[in-house]
Structure 1
């Protein structure tokens, strides 16, 4: 298994017309842009490349754009910003499942109490699984409360057969310089316990369908998904017929080539190229 190593995106300039670029772990660490990331985004656009920021953020687009702007990643850095929470909202509004066609009691797991992903529905937030008609898994606070505490709140709903929606499939999240179980790990456990989960976000098709709709006429083979997750960013892009550039930051920071090959075999995913970081 050969890893094609490149120093930056300039090596792909002749092969790419557009980039679907991950956010957390690729262009920023949740609070601060990585060195050179903003300049790289602007350089890509100046070179005539289409830039879509594609995130597994469980919130609506307006929230995500506000967070980016607060870090200095402003509208001139990208053509569009698309997140899994926004795609979920659009899909659910277009074809609401039965439990959202009436008043719905929602048990939310997220990093803040906002339920903008269910804006426009008749919902009532609740605190316990015993009260819930729906479990919404939009984020993880495993770094704050511990995974076991979160799962103990959620598990009774799976036993009751309460449906769940996951708008952030990331199984790992980086917080405080350490890896913790992400929202996707909670949703995976919920499913394993017999609960039903509807997934939105990378690597699932809905978010790529929405992203590719923003790139009409661009051949998929000339679109690169860029990110730090083989499981989500690279596997999702490849499944959508695009190509993949893995950056060795975020959740794979520190992995050597041997460990990286193990991860590639684990997820049956081979990126077209690997770069040390997001740089031109």
Structure 2
């Protein structure tokens, strides 16, 4: 259960960041909510306790809701996943995914980067699933030597970690191939813990000197669709997520407030479990190296 206001630590203990007992406290001041998926609503397999009810109560309060995910899959696939876990997806005004954003950019080719890519694509996938890139006029090739560009739409962690992809990445560098990344996340929550996400491949490619275009958080382009769907002023919008580098930094870049659930991908660094708030000492040590600062701390997505 959420802590009562009397049990919450003071904002002064967290450098002015306000700990809140539940989403109800945020719904009083904000009319539009941008919600992360993994680490906020569910762990990829099961919904977090109270999350489905909180979504219902937030909607009943008249608030608009966008789920913004760095998932490299289609938005329809993500909605089906949420429905299987028991979420009422009709409560969501819009689901926006990094994968769908990448697919749209490859179809439209409206900017210089994507218009120059060519049509032959080598894809890094999870389990061989290339469906995100099908039906949009691409030739999906099996050899980097045949590709015009590379697309990171998945990875096979923990079976294959970033070092296991070095041969493919070096082959792309040798041919100076551009890359798109449909999910900038570097860590992924699973029921068994945290493992690498596909963004680590793109970061490694950049470190080798490759050119990468990222689709998703924290890059501002994807937030335009969120704000359009929410149809309210940016100062009445708040993003809730579990990643400083993606949810909090992305919100800061477009001038909206954010609430961090610290027991997600940052739980090991903060020494906590999901649903807990860190000690002020642990937070201060963590915050020294953080890419951005949230406005609120929220133990869990509960009302």
TM-score by length of 1: 0.91
CA apart distance, 1:109: 1.6
Q: Which residue of 2 aligns with 1:73?
A: 87
Contact 1:129 1:154 in 2 (8 A): no
Structure 2 gaps, min length 5: 1-14, 271-277
C-alpha separation between the residues in 2 aligned to 1:78 and 1:122?
31
Q: Deviations over 1:26-46 (max 9, x none)?
A: 110001100110000010000
Q: Given the alignment of the two structures, is residue 260 of structure 1 paired with residue 274 of structure 2, yes or no?
A: no
Secondary structure of 1:214 counterpart? helix
Contact 1:111 1:141 in 2 (8 A): yes
CA apart distance, 1:93: 1.9
C-alpha separation between the residues in 1 aligned to 2:27 and 2:137?
48
Structure 1 gaps, min length 5: none
Q: Which residue of 2 aligns with 1:92?
A: 106
Q: Which residue of 2 aligns with 1:47?
A: 61
C-alpha separation between the residues in 2 aligned to 1:242 and 1:194?
32
Q: Which residue of 1 aligns with 2:202?
A: 187
Q: Given the alignment of the two structures, is residue 130 of structure 1 paired with residue 145 of structure 2, yes or no?
A: yes
Contact 1:172 1:181 in 2 (8 A): yes
Contact 1:230 1:263 in 2 (8 A): no
Equivalent of residue 263 in structure 2, options 238, 249, 256: 249
Equivalent of residue 29 in structure 1, options 18, 40, 43: 43
Q: Which residue of 2 aligns with 1:60?
A: 74
CA apart distance, 1:166: 0.3
* CA gap 1:130/1:182 in 2 versus in 1, 3 angstroms: same
Contact 1:230 1:264 in 2 (8 A): no
Higher Cα Rg: structure 1 or 2?
Answer: 2
C-alpha separation between the residues in 1 aligned to 2:284 and 2:244?
11
C-alpha separation between the residues in 2 aligned to 1:107 and 1:94?
19
How many equivalent residue pairs? 277
TM-score by length of 2: 0.85
Secondary structure of 1:34 counterpart? coil
Contact 1:42 1:76 in 2 (8 A): no
Q: Which residue of 2 aligns with 1:115?
A: 130
After the TM superposition, which of the residue ranges 178-187 and 25-34 deviates more from structure 2? Answer: 178-187
What CA RMSD, in Å, does the superposition of the two structures yield over aligned residues? 1.9
C-alpha separation between the residues in 1 aligned to 2:220 and 2:292?
16
C-alpha separation between the residues in 1 aligned to 2:202 and 2:102?
15
